[in-house]
Amino acid sequence: MSPKRGERAAPPPGPGEWDVRFATGEAAKGWEQLAVQAAGNTRAAWVLMRTDPAPAVRTERHHRLKGELAHGAHRGQPIERWQIEVTAGGRIWYLLDTERHTVWIDQASTGHPKVTDR
């Protein structure tokens, strides 16, 4: 059975870890596709989101988005949006809910997000 909106992307978090959940059903489907295409990289991205979703030292593969993409909304509240480059084209975008210590995956895809091609 495929994961759905609101469900966890993996087991419950351990002490000090972030809860990783899907913000949308489309994100859950994209996650499954990424896992098939690049299992090791998808797992490494999950570990990053679980342990260090907002790293002090950002890289080209893991960073906060810029401009109008830098924020998203969850439960009506604007929160930071981050990106992990999983493959050359594959991306995970997530919202960082610091109040709930939760990472909300709002987009996961095997191809580069078209919205960034503007």
Tell which CATH architecture fits domain 20-112: 2-Layer Sandwich (3.30)
d(CA 74, CA 44): 24
| E-state strands within 1-101 | 19-22, 62-64, 71-74, 77-85, 91-97
Q: Which of 108, 88, 105 is nearest to 34 (CA)?
A: 108
Could you state, in order of their start, the residue ranges of all structural domains in the chain? 20-112
**Three-state DSSP state, 45:** helix
Relative to beta strand 19-22, strand 102-109 is parallel
Model-level pTM? 0.88
Distances (CA, A) of 113 to 4, 93, 95: 21, 10, 16
pLDDT in tens, the chain (118 residues): 567 777 777 788 999 999 999 999 999 999 999 999 999 999 999 999 999 999 999 999 999 999 999 999 988 889 999 999 999 999 999 999 999 999 999 999 998 766 655 5
d(CA 88, CA 110): 9
CA trace torsion 111, 115, 116, 118 (10° rounding) = 130
